[in-house]
Amino acid sequence: SDLQKQEERGELLQPLIFILLVLCSVLLYFKVSLMDPGFVKPEEEVKGGEDKGQGVVIPQIPGDIKLRRCGYCLVKQPMRAKHCQLCQHCVRRYDHHCPWLENCVGERNHPLFIAYLSVQLVVLLWGGHVAWSGLYFEQSQEWLQHNIFLLVSFLLIFIFTIVVLLLLVSHLYLISCNTTTWEFMSHHRISYLRHSELENPFDQGIILNLWRFFC
């Protein structure tokens, strides 16, 4: 049959991979949006050097900076944690609150958030290629009527691709510096950064920063 011939020629492999990528993207979206991003629990006792990966750099931070108690949820905040008023929780290694996910991006789901952006970028690039390959250009009203759907789809995919690409590149840059979006944007308002002798006391080099984040 035609289906068997297409399978033998490998023509069904690409659509299958594309569908699996879309499915993976959807699963990652729900995983990142529904999981605990690293909420600080009230019963947790915050001890010095508790946060993983910070023991090497904490001595570089002035000793007079003490862990403060959150004025909203009244928990003792670990270093690099921040209270999110939308989630009503303090989040460990807080990066930002994502309105598209309706969840914070923090210590626990940040790596999965990067994975989601990466898979989403591949899906968008593939979809953009498919939409572009289906277009043939002619200067006529009839051409526009027959190709308006593909043209609008390509333009939307192009816009979303630029947005996701910029998000992914910016996050990878911040990760390579071992800083977060919140720390980068509010450096002058954060006590442990404002009073530190180093511009970024958590930076341990690109390779070690990436290793600690992903591994």
The mean pLDDT value of the chain amounts to 84
For 124, other C-beta atoms within 10 Å of its C-beta total 21
Closest CA to 114 of 52, 53, 173: 173
pLDDT band at 194 (very low <50, low <70, confident <90, very high): confident
Give the range among 15-24, 72-81, 91-100, 114-123 with minimum mean pLDDT: 72-81
> In the chain, what percentage of residues exceed pLDDT 90?
54
The residue from 98, 104, 177, 215 that is catalytic is 98
Q: What is the pLDDT of residue 57?
A: 40
In this structure, what token pair is assigned to residue 137? 């250009």
Q: What is the pLDDT of residue 151?
A: 83
| pLDDT tens sequence across 98-151 | 999 999 999 999 999 999 999 999 999 999 888 887 666 666 667 667 777 888
| pLDDT tens sequence across 142-157 | 766 777 788 888 899 9
Could you tell me which residues come within 8 angstroms of residue 125 by beta carbon, excluding any fewer than 6 positions away? 161
Contact (Cβ atoms closer than 8 angstroms) between residue 81 and residue 91: yes
pTM: 0.82
Contact (Cβ atoms closer than 8 angstroms) between residue 33 and residue 102: yes
| pLDDT(209) > 90 | yes
CA separation for the pair 215, 208 (Å, rounded): 10
Contact (Cβ atoms closer than 8 angstroms) between residue 135 and residue 151: yes
Residue type, 36: D
98 among known catalytic residues? yes
In this structure, what token pair is assigned to residue 213? 């984040």
Sign of CA dihedral 8, 132, 150, 160: positive
| pLDDT tens sequence across 53-66 | 443 344 445 555 56
CA separation for the pair 131, 154 (Å, rounded): 6
Residue the block writes with tokens 């944007």: 185
Closest CA to 32 of 122, 110, 121: 110
Q: What is the pLDDT of residue 3?
A: 52
Compute φ and ψ for 206, nearest 5 degrees.
Answer: -60, -45
pLDDT (average), residues 197-214: 91
Contact (Cβ atoms closer than 8 angstroms) between residue 24 and residue 30: no
List, as one string, the DSSP characters of 46-100.
P-TT-STT-TTTGGGS-TT--PPBPTTT--BPPTT-EEETTTTEEETT--EEETT
86 CB burial (10 A radius; 0-12, 13-18, 19+):
exposed
CA separation for the pair 60, 193 (Å, rounded): 11
Q: What is the pLDDT of residue 49?
A: 42
